[in-house]
Amino acid sequence: MKLSMLWTSAVAVLVATPLAAQQQDDPYLWLEEVEAPQALEWVTERSAETAAKLEAHPAFQDIYERNLAILNSTDRIPYVSIMGSYVYNFWQDADHEKGIWRRTSLADYVSPSPTWEVVLDLDALSAAEGENWVWKGANCLYPVYTTCVVDLSRGGGDATVVREFDAATRQFVEGGFYLPEAKGGVSWLDDNTLYVGTDFGEGSLTTSGYPRIAKRWRRGTQLGEAETVFQGAVTDVGIWGGVQHTPEGRYEIVTRAVTFYTSETHLRRGNEMVKLDLPADATPVGVFKKQLLVQLKSDWIVGGNTYPQGALLSIGVDRFLAGSKDFTVIVAPDERSSISGVRTTKNLLLVTMLENVRSSLHEYRLQDGVWTRTPVDMPAFGTIRLGGADENSDTYFINFESFLIPSSLYVATNTGGPTMVKQVKSLPAFFDADPFTAQQFEATSKDGTQIPYFVVHRRDLKLDGTNPTLLYGYGGFEISMEPSYSATIGSAWLSRGGVYVLANLRGGGEFGPRWHQSALKENRQRAYDDFIAVAQDLIARQITSPARLGIRGGSNGGLLVGAAFTQRPDLFGAVVCRVPLLDMKRYNKLLAGASWMAEYGNPDVPEEWEYIRRYSPYHNVHADRAYPQVLFITSTRDDRVHPGHARKMVAKMTDQGHDVFYYENTEGGHAAATTNRQRAYMSALEFAYLWQQVGGN
């Protein structure tokens, strides 16, 4: 069972100020009108130009065909969730471009050739209904998991249509629960009741575009008749209500996200929602064995005790509600470690740790009020991620991978003694990794901070500055960049002579909340300084040179590479800027942008705009500077980061006389692609571009 406080990924609506009022200051505002004919004509022309140029590169077709073969390979690992007596998987391949939701038994799944039962075929559904449905997941009722709702997106955006589905009959329920396209989420209370967050009509959304109201909706009643459980402020990020089902009981929870990193958690007791007395930046992870689990983002001094930043704590729910603050510290990371994942089975609390960006896994068992820890023996020097777990037994899945070791899936089973771990599936080697090695280095950032990074390269690498090198980074939202096996990078980049680099920048979560918080708001420039420092270190080590160094990033990473190339265009020969934020003056007015002000700051506050404007790529690109020939990629259906960011940046740079590439997929959402064919194509465009710019061909 995955523990979370039911935070539902949602898409915000466009909150735009009248264009005419700001047109004088920004002549490209018309490109923010996503589906306006004039804007789409501009998009079509520029995308066609870029596609023609990059498809003509000698490497394009081979990379595309290899990528597609990898993505469609039936040898891929079908990752599953355990629900009742079945394991469920969503699968896409050449015969199922939109995908199938399928299931089998656990015993059959771990066999060499499982037999799958198709539960829902999205290709058939799309054809029958004349819709471009994209799978966004299913929510099924514990403990039988046959009463479900599925989330279907038109074209891949975050906004979904919610429809009730019977997994036993494999049919949509006639007259069942249904929500029209909106952002938000639902959670089952019982067979006849849902917790609902959606667009209930005027005034029901926050300025970030997320639900402001949580309701309980009874079967057979109209949505407008649903019971209001909680209402937040219009300036909140959002309100999410839901239910955590455990073997010991169920817990009705409402999370009020005041900002992206501060929240209130309310737990239902009888007919009352009781606010939990926790620090605003603490994260209630969930309830396990009637223990409330809480992860701290800052030191907490309470009840005569000091609980350290980053720690995972527990306390009995009833004792806590009665006023006790005598927590037990389960895990207390140090300055070079952090908790990367928490999950539970029936009797085990599973915790993955990052220690200097290397993974370990630990089982915790609660016995007579005391937590005991047992390390799980796994391969060293790679990334461990927890997969599906069974709340009715102590069976769970573990995925292990590294840059050069293909992903392997293990099943772990505990029956009261030592946990037995067995490898049951493995990804084939899609490229020959034998000639390569991975190393970890550190670069010194502008303020003296040591920034770790990984380099994957041939063992016989010549340190002469001529190696085509691709540097990837993110540096935001406490998201860690960990070693992973990428068949496409291996095939399209490493095997063709490239070097791959992964940077662990401040703003991420590699070393816990402190690492993240050190690059927030007025300190945002630190993440960009870190990235630039890694680039400089690669050049100083003669691994590469500016003419042979490409950088790549998406979303917040798109902002990262946008800031990097506008600040230090002399360091880079290529820039892949995917689904990026770039106009940091208006980001909080576009789609979900207002929810990220806790990360970047509020550009409408003069003091905060003063530091934001210094790195905002859209405001720091100039006609009299020479820049790399950047490739910008976005999606018309991206309803999380507005495509206007990339569109306007391209228009501005083009009018300044800079030569850039631009490609906008008409569907795909924030991922910029929805099918394997699209994913293979977009990747081939990027790598053809990189080889053209920094590969010397």
Which pLDDT score, from 0 to 100, does residue 696 have? 74
Looking at residue 15, what is its pLDDT? 32
Q: How far, in whole angstroms, is CA 292 from its chain's centroid?
A: 26
- Residue 52's CB is within 10 A of a number of other CB atoms, namely 9
* pLDDT of 385 above 90: yes
Query: How do beta strands 420-426 and 408-413 pair?
Result: antiparallel
The stretch 43-54 carries a mean pLDDT of 97
pLDDT at 670 > cutoff 90: no
C-beta of residue 10 within 8 angstroms of C-beta of residue 184: yes
Tell me whether residue 635 is one of the annotated catalytic residues. no
Alpha carbons 159 and 151: distance in angstroms, whole number: 9
Average pLDDT over residues 515-532: 98
Distances (CA, A) of 468 to 461, 539, 563: 11, 11, 22
Question: What is the predicted pLDDT for the residue at 669?
Answer: 76
Phi-psi region at 142: left, alpha or beta (left = phi > 0; alpha = psi -120 to 50)? beta
Secondary structure E strands in 8-156: 81-83, 86-93, 96-104, 117-121, 133-140, 147-154
Worst-scoring range by mean pLDDT, 57-61, 141-145, 415-419, 652-656?
415-419
**Residue 10 pLDDT more than 50?**
no
User: Of 666 and 289, which is predicted with more confidence?
Assistant: 289
Asked whether the predicted pLDDT for residue 346 surpasses 80, the reply is yes
- Across 415-437, average pLDDT: 94
Residue owning tokens 């896994």: 361
Instruction: Please give the average per-residue pLDDT across 503-522, as a whole number.
Output: 98
Confidence of residue 478 (pLDDT cuts 50, 70, 90): very high
In this prediction, residue 4 carries a pLDDT of: 35
Strand ranges across the sheet with 312-316? 283-288, 291-295, 312-316, 328-331
Q: What is the DSSP string of 408-434?
A: EEEEEE-SSSSPEEEEEEE---SS--T
First to last CA, the chain: 49
Tokens for 125, please give them.
């559904």
Amino acid identity, position 263? S
**Percent with pLDDT over 90 in the chain:** 91
25: confidence class by pLDDT, cuts 50, 70, 90: confident
User: Which residues fall within 8 angstroms of residue 570, CB to CB, at 6 or more apart?
Assistant: 546
* Residue 381 clears pLDDT 90, i.e. is over it: no
Question: For this structure, is 645 an active site residue?
Answer: no
> Residue 24 has what pLDDT?
60
Q: Which residue, among 506, 530, 525, has the nearest Cα to 516 in the 3D structure? A: 506
| Beta carbons within 8 Å of 395's beta carbon, 6+ residues apart | 82, 106, 345, 389, 411, 412, 413, 414
- What would the pLDDT profile of 535-554 be if each residue is shown by its tens digit? 999 999 999 999 999 999 99
Compute CA 403 distance to the chain's CA centroid, rounded to the nearest angstrom: 19
Note the pLDDT of residue 264. 97
Question: Which band of pLDDT confidence, cut at 50, 70 and 90, is reported for residue 697?
Answer: low
Region 194-205: what's the mean pLDDT?
Answer: 95
CATH superfamily of 47-68+430-694: Alpha/Beta hydrolase fold, catalytic domain (3.40.50.1820)
Mean pLDDT, the chain, rounded, equals 94
Q: What is the per-residue pLDDT for 638?
A: 87
Predicted confidence at residue 465, as pLDDT, reads: 97
Q: What is the pLDDT of residue 560?
A: 98
Tell me how far apart the 2 most distant CA atoms of the chain are, in Å.
72
In this prediction, what percent of the chain has a pLDDT beyond 70?
A: 96
Q: Check 208, 555, 595, 683 and give the catalytic one.
A: 555
Chain segment 115-136, per-residue pLDDT in tens? 999 999 999 999 999 999 999 9
pLDDT confidence of 23, banded at 50, 70, 90?
A: low
